[in-house]
């Protein structure tokens, strides 16, 4: 598995190697029937990559960056430690992790979509953490890292997109060190009916319109509310993380319940579950 180089050639090679063929049950997504989910998701993020950051900021009124900072705080990293950000996209969480671990530490941002990661190195250099973060093409379903490699593993707005959520968490649990933390940021549905109604209206109607206007790819932003609708609610996600091997799993809701941050710990004794 090669690391990022300036021309992105190694990443491109890795991308084809790691874009695996997963077949999942028929989801009613536009254009979905001709492709499997991994290919569909990869193609979609390739299309929207150039405008991803801009649409995200607009869509969440800038709240997304605050949520990412909370993810990093919850990872509880110390200077000199190693962290992995799975499905890092344009790398915002990875960059924030790098500030946490400092120049003696190491952060890997991995994703299976090369185009999403392309802005990462320049963003890292601009933020003064270019030497700390490495971007790497990797499928979340089979992470190319040895077991017990990182003090913490994070992931943001990605679990909606994978073909098997439990397997993705099993992989994160495998590569984190015993006692290390796995932190996940994802969308959720507000609990209060009136807020949920407003949220759904915004997510189902305004977001696709905004996304289409800015990125020119309406399909991708129709997929977004669709994938959120199909995503397990926070309590169920907690159980999935526990089944994947994590202990002390807890979560908190943010943005009036529009986002959830889940946290789990890898048991110190292999196979032991503290619940």
Ligand X SMILES: C[S@@+](CC[C@H](N)C(=O)[O-])C[C@H]1O[C@@H](n2cnc3c(N)ncnc32)[C@H](O)[C@@H]1O
Q: Which of 55, 158, 263, 265 binds ligand X (CB under 6 A)?
A: 158
Q: Which of 4, 32, 40, 112 binds ligand X (CB under 6 A)?
A: 112
In the complex with ligand X, the residue whose CB is nearer, 89 or 119, is 89
Stretch in the footprint of ligand X (CB under 6 A) among 37-45, 123-131, 174-182, 247-255: 37-45
CA atoms within 13 A on the CB side of 117: 31
Where residue 97 falls (left for φ over 0; alpha for ψ -120 to 50; beta otherwise) is alpha
Q: Which of 111, 171, 219, 226 binds ligand X (CB under 6 A)?
A: 111
Q: Are 95 and 133 in contact (CB under 8 A)?
A: yes
Residues in contact with ligand X, counted by CB under 6 A, come to a total of: 20
Q: Which two tokens stand for residue 165?
A: 């959520």
Q: Which of 11, 15, 41, 84 binds ligand X (CB under 6 A)?
A: 41
Closest to 156 (Cα-Cα) out of 21, 52, 13 = 52
Q: Which of 120, 121, 156, 264 binds ligand X (CB under 6 A)?
A: 156
Q: Which of 132, 140, 187, 237 binds ligand X (CB under 6 A)?
A: 140
In the complex with ligand X, the residue whose CB is nearer, 155 or 264, is 155
List all residues 6 or more positions away from 112 whose beta carbon is below 8 Å from its beta carbon.
15, 18, 19, 38, 42, 87, 137, 138, 139, 140
If 0-12 CB within 10 Å is exposed, 13-18 middle and 19+ buried, where does residue 41 land? buried
Neighbours of 104 (CB within 10 A): 9
Stretch in the footprint of ligand X (CB under 6 A) among 74-82, 85-93, 211-219, 244-252: 85-93
CB of 30 to ligand X, least distance (A): 17
* 48 sits near ligand X (criterion: CB under 6 A): no
In the complex with ligand X, the residue whose CB is nearer, 136 or 267, is 136
Q: Could you tell me how far CA 120 lies from the centroid of its own chain?
A: 14
Q: Which of 55, 93, 183, 207 binds ligand X (CB under 6 A)?
A: 93
Residues recorded for the chain: 275
Positions in the binding site for ligand X (CB under 6 A): 38, 41, 45, 87-89, 92-93, 111-113, 116, 139-141, 156-158, 161-162
């Amino acid at each position: 598995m090669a690391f990022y180089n300036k021309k992105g050639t190694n990443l491109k090679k890795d991308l084809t190697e790691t874009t695996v063929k997963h077949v999942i049950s028929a989801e009613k997504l536009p254009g979905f029937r001709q492709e499997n989910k991994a290919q569909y998701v990869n193609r979609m993020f390739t299309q929207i990559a150039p405008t991803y950051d801009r649409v995200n900021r607009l869509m969440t009124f800038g709240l997304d960056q605050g949520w990412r900072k909370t993810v990093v705080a919850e990872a509880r990293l110390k200077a000199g430690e190693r962290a992995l950000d799975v499905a890092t996209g344009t790398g915002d969480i990875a960059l924030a992790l790098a500030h946490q671990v400092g120049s003696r530490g190491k952060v890997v941002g991995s994703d299976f979509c090369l185009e999403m990661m392309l802005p990462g190195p320049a963003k890292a250099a601009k933020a003064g953490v270019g030497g700390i973060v490495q971007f790497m093409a990797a499928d979340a379903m089979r992470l190319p890292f040895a077991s017990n490699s990182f003090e913490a593993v994070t992931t943001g707005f990605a679990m909606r997109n994978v073909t098997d959520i439990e397997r993705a968490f099993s992989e994160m649990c495998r590569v984190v060190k015993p006692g290390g933390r796995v932190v996940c940021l994802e969308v959720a549905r507000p609990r209060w009916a009136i807020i949920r109604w407003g949220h759904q209206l915004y997510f189902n109607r305004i977001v696709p319109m905004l996304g289409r206007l800015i990125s020119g790819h309406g399909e991708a932003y129709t997929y977004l509310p669709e994938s959120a609708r199909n995503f397990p609610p926070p309590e169920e996600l907690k159980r999935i993380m526990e089944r994947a091997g994590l202990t002390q799993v807890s979560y908190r809701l943010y943005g009036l319940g529009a986002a959830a941050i889940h946290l789990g710990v890898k048991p110190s004794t292999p196979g032991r579950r503290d619940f």
